[in-house]
Each structure stands twice: as C-alpha cells, then as structure tokens.
Amino acid sequence: MNTQELRELISTGLYDIEFDYSGKQCSVCAFSKEKISLAHDGDVLNVDTVDKAMDAPFFDGRSLAEIASEVEFEY
C-alpha cells in the first residue's frame, strides 16, 4: 500500500488496521480524525491528526509513511 492510500484509509475512521512489523504486532485505530491510536508491541501512542499518525517515528524509530510500502495491512 502506498502512503497516500494508507493516509486515506486512516482518514475514513472505518477500520482498525493491523500489521506485523519487525516481528511485532501493530495496529492503527482511528476513532475519528482527531483521535488516532497507534500500537506497537504493547506500546500505545495517541495522536490528534492523521499527519501525526503518519509521521510519528513510533515503529522501531520509523513512521507509518516510511514503512507503508514494506508491510501488509489487514483491515
């Protein structure tokens, strides 16, 4: 999935998005455009914009924008 497709998927707020990264279970849960939770191996980061969700270096020091094309997302 490319970065723009992932950004649009998160923006809908319709899906919990799950994926594995570096052998760890991860997810993105968008409750609204202003309440998004990122989870990575039991750690959680709450952000208030889609841009912050995409750009936060939360997944082993990398952002969703950086890893979007490397992982397979399930929703």
pLDDT tens digit string along 24-52?
999 999 999 899 999 999 999 999 999 99
The answer to whether position 11 is within a domain reads yes
Range of the domain at 51: 3-67
Q: Kindly state the tokens that stand for 41.
A: 């191996």
* Single pTM value for the model: 0.94
Tens of pLDDT, residue by residue over 7-19, are: 999 999 999 999 9
Q: What is the pLDDT of residue 9?
A: 96
The answer to whether position 75 is within a domain reads no
The answer to whether position 14 is within a domain reads yes
Confidence of residue 1 (pLDDT cuts 50, 70, 90): very high
Dist. CA 44–CA 31, nearest whole Å: 14
Q: What is the pLDDT of residue 40?
A: 98
* Structural domains of the chain, count: 1
Q: What is the pLDDT of residue 36?
A: 98
